[in-house]
Amino acid sequence: MQIVNTVCELRRAVKIWRSAGESVAFVPTMGNLHAGHLQLVRMARKNADRAVVSIFVNPTQFGAGEDFETYPRTEREDQEKLTGECADLLFQPSVTDIYAPDAKTTVTVAGISDWYCGASRPGHFAGVATVVSKLFNIVQPDSAFFGLKDFQQFTVIKTMVRDLNIPVEIIGVDTVREPDGLAMSSRNGYLTDDEKRVAPKLYQSLCAARDVILDGNQTYEEVEQRALQFLQQAGFETDYFSVCRGSDLTKAAAEDVDLVLLAAAKLGKTRLIDNIYFSR
């Protein structure tokens, strides 16, 4: 696996593949790779001749008081894992490679960026959309792979690509879970042993809510309130639990068929998010 740190080196490597007629798939990450990321890399490899992975802890998507400084950076382990998955190239730029000190342009996907996680993390999705569009311009892949655990992020990126005519196919990959159901996340490492025992209840609340919706005996408001109550009793500090339309994440109406349940809650200092999507 080639490891490059600058935009120039990255472009040189991709140009050589392109002139040989090869296709390129891309997996953007912030590192601290777990089985969920490695699944994205496997899918990328299947989908194209070359798989590029980026590791960049993007400062613009962290708010004041969030964990940018302490976000786990596990460079050597990540490189070993990517070599094991036969990724072709790892792009590991520094902040100054990505952001000019006097940068004046940002990308914002209106509306959806302000809801759910966007309401509690103002500016987060503008940071994500900006860095992902920059990485797309740098790598110029044919396709890019994102975990569906971050369903709102996935929807923001799909909307951005559609609205800006960015010629990259966006592919969502199912959430990889621990045997107890907890969605894999780089932030799970922050959980204490006690919190690890409680954390799977987030996914349990989503599964229970889905089953109640499929039974059809409760309104969506009732389903949301009961799930929030269940999580609070289990020890979570809840942020939101929402029954949404799968296509655009607006509030679901009774006639909607494709639904996604989005949930976010804190356990101690750790913010967990998860979701489940299904058709009625």
**Minimum CB distance to ligand PAF smaller for 185 or for 223:** 185
Stretch that binds ligand PAF, among 9-17, 39-47, 124-132, 259-267 (CB under 6 A): 124-132
Which DSSP letter does residue 251 get? B
- 34 has catalytic annotation: no
Q: Considering the complex, state which of residue 115 and residue 198 has its C-beta at the smaller distance from ligand PAF.
A: 115
Judged by CB under 6 A, which of 89, 132, 206, 223 binds ligand PAF?
132
Q: Are 57 and 128 in contact (CB under 8 A)?
A: no
Handedness of CA 179, 180, 184, 189 (dihedral sign): negative
- State the Cα angle at 191 between 155 and 148, rounded to 5°: 15
**Angle, vertex CA 276, rays to CA 278 and CA 250, nearest 5:** 80
Residue 260 interacting with ligand PAF (CB under 6 A): no
- Residues that contact ligand PAF, how many (by CB under 6 A): 10
Residue choice 32, 39, 47, 58 for contact with ligand PAF (CB under 6 A): 58
Within a 10 A sphere around the Cβ of 93, how many other Cβ atoms?
A: 20
- The residue annotated as part of the active site, out of 24, 31, 37, 128, is 37
**Candidates 24-32, 91-99, 168-176, 240-248 — which segment interacts with ligand PAF by CB under 6 A?**
24-32
Are 79 and 54 in contact, with CB atoms under 8 Å apart?
A: no
Q: Record the tokens describing residue 119, joined without a space.
A: 């309401």
Residues in touch with ligand PAF (CB under 6 A): 28-30, 58, 61, 128, 131-132, 150, 153
